Amino acid sequence: MVKTGESSARSGDESSLIKRLQAGEQAAFDEAVRAYTPSMLLVARFYLDPASAEDAVQEVWIKVVQAIQSFEGRASLKTWLHRIVANQAKDGLRKAGREIAMDFSEPLEPALDSRFRTRGTWSEPPRLKTTESAEQWLESGALKACLDKHLTALPEQHRSALMLYEAHQHKSEDVCNILGVSASNLRVILHRARQRIFLMVETFRETGKC
Amino acid sequence: MLMCRDLAVVASDYIDGELSPGQRLSVKVHLMMCRHCRALVNNLRNSATVLQKHSSQQVNEDYFRRVKLNIAQALQDSRDKNS
Ligand SMILES: [Zn+2]
């Protein structure tokens, strides 16, 4: 294996894990499954429903048993796995004759956009206090339950992109490459998810309803 | 001159420090004068924190077990093939 600059910067842990995977060591696979499956599922769920995503990731792991032999270490193990998952999931979509619609062009949630006058001033300004903190939001059990519910209700694609973004320590190029979305689309996804949470908390504070 | 709606459009970019120095300055000037937009920015910042805290993905143990079993089987198959 030729060492590139990138692979020599790899942590010793990852190199030794890769060697053990290539040697077919079961314990190494157990470790890798635990470490990488959660984010692999996120990638798959960007394209597929939850059950199909689980199947796709399962199939990828079986493929990896052989494919790891040809892993050359040009990318990190995680990125390599994510790429295989994305390809597998896109294949699944093609076979099902489906395509994912990606319209991330509108930066504002309709429910927020409708609160401005045509000339761009507020007609219905935010009703939440400016001084509240996120900690205060999370202190209330009922509000927290409502947040959980709304997070689960985010469009699957948005949620998976967001969570990958967080899981990758905000390295947005990685997330964009794997999901095939532009950096500006990712910014819009992020912005709209925040707006949804804000609108939800506002309604909850006023009506007590989730 | 930056309108409130324009500010709402770039609010997350402002929060994450993704604006150019010029844009950043006009947002700051607007925020000094407009309490509604201050409220919006503060609330979106809280929302960002909430989203970050909820970004850990839970995978159930049963799924892990199934994946591991399948891998064990695949490893066995490849050993059989090579022997
Ligand atoms: Zn304003």
- Say if the Cβ atoms of A125 and B39 lie within 8 Å: yes
**Mutation test of the interface with chain B: which of A82, A116, A197, A204, choosing the one with the most B Cβ atoms within 10 A?**
A197
| B63 pLDDT tier (thresholds 50, 70, 90) | very high
Distance in Å from the first CA to the final CA of chain A: 56
Answer whether residue A3 is part of any domain: no
Chain B residues closer than 8 Å to A131 by CB: 42
Instruction: Note whether A126 and A192 are same-domain residues.
Output: yes
pTM above 0.80, yes or no: no
Given a cut of 90, whether residue A20 has pLDDT beyond it is yes
Instruction: Note whether A116 and A199 are same-domain residues.
Output: yes
Contact at 8 Å (CB) between B8 and B37? Answer: yes
Give Cα A21 distance to the centre of its chain.
26
- Dist. CA A187 → ligand 1 center (Å): 21
Answer whether residue A183 is part of any domain: yes
What's the structural domain count of chain A? 2
Chain A residues closer than 8 Å to B67 by CB: 33, 37, 57-58, 61
State pLDDT tens for residues A160-196: 888 888 776 667 788 888 888 888 888 998 999 999 9
Q: How far is CA A112 from CA A28, A200, A205, B11, B16, in A?
A: 49, 11, 17, 13, 20
Domain termination site, one of A44, A69, A96: A96
* Residue ranges making up the domain that contains A66: 12-96
The CATH code of the domain that includes A152 is 1.10.10.10
- Say if the Cβ atoms of B8 and A137 lie within 8 Å: no
**Predicted local confidence at residue A169, as pLDDT:** 63
- The residue whose two tokens read 């600059």 is A5
| Residue A21, min C-alpha distance to chain B (Å) | 10
For chains A and B, what is the number of CB pairs under 8 angstroms? Answer: 138
Domain termination site, one of A96, A130, A162: A96
Instruction: Note whether A164 and A80 are same-domain residues.
Output: no
**Mutation test of the interface with chain A: which of B19, B44, B45, B46, choosing the one with the most A Cβ atoms within 10 A?**
B46
Answer whether residue A1 is part of any domain: no
State pLDDT tens for residues A40-75: 998 998 888 888 899 999 999 999 999 999 998 888
Q: What's the mean pLDDT in B13-33?
A: 96
Chain A residues closer than 8 Å to B72 by CB: 26, 29
